[in-house]
Amino acid sequence: MGIRDFFKKNKTTELDPLTDLSLAKLKVGYLVDYDLKTWEVVACNHYDWGGGDISHEWQLTSGDEVVYLEMESDDEEEWSLNRKIAFGRLDPEVKKHILETQDPPEEIVFEGTTYYMEEMTGGHFYKNGQGPGKELLRWSYEDDKGRSYLGIEQWGEQDIDASAGKPVDEYQFTNILPGTP
């Protein structure tokens, strides 16, 4: 390798602030501002839904708050911001329905909003993009205006999680800075 090749190689491995510091390229340790707070990326996960359908999820923390930024690519990138909620906050009939029928109901009322099932998918979850992948089923719900989301994930016979969220736009996240992992 000649001296010119050495310098070319080093140049290409440096961060390019115009292309590497984008929301879709967040990495563990990065910082990003959203909703008047600075958030740190503590995990970069992904879900493989089969057939090449993959969604990306970044776990962000600010103080003691934890949110999950998710990007799904269909024809275009769709972003959502979700928070885990205690499954017990949902109507007890939801869990009963899942255990009896293997599926949640078509409609769920949560905090006065009615959510309608949009899709059910099965796939594998990869924490920080590693491991053999943990199997899960996910039911996605949306209110009638598309402003609120509700998700239910089943990780086994009785391990069921819930989350509530909303759509967000990439421009709402600013000041992306690389950090130390």
Q: What is the pLDDT of residue 62?
A: 97
Cα separations (Å) of 141 from 10, 137, 138, 153? 47, 13, 10, 11
The average pLDDT across 74-101 equals 90
Of 181, 176, 178, residue with least CA distance to 69: 176
Cα separations (Å) of 155 from 62, 96, 116? 27, 16, 21
The pTM of the full predicted model, rounded to 2 decimals, is 0.86
Residue 48 has pLDDT above 50, yes or no: yes
pLDDT band at 21 (very low <50, low <70, confident <90, very high): confident
Residue 15 has pLDDT above 60, yes or no: no
The average pLDDT across 2-14 equals 51
Backbone φ and ψ for 49, nearest 5 degrees, come out as -95, 5
Delimit the domains of the chain by residue range.
3-177
The average pLDDT across 130-139 equals 92
**Which ranges in 53-171 belong to alpha helices (H)?**
92-101
Q: What is the pLDDT of residue 74?
A: 75
C-alpha–C-alpha distance, residues 159 and 166, integer Å: 24
Query: To the nearest whole percent, how much of the chain has pLDDT over 70?
Result: 88
Residue 29, Ramachandran bin (φ over 0: left; ψ between -120 and 50: alpha; else beta): left
The average pLDDT across 103-108 equals 93
C-alpha–C-alpha distance, residues 98 and 154, integer Å: 9
Q: What is the pLDDT of residue 14?
A: 59
pLDDT digits (tens, 9 = 90+) for 150-179: 999 999 877 889 999 999 999 999 999 998
Residue 97, Ramachandran bin (φ over 0: left; ψ between -120 and 50: alpha; else beta): alpha
Residue 12 has pLDDT above 50, yes or no: no
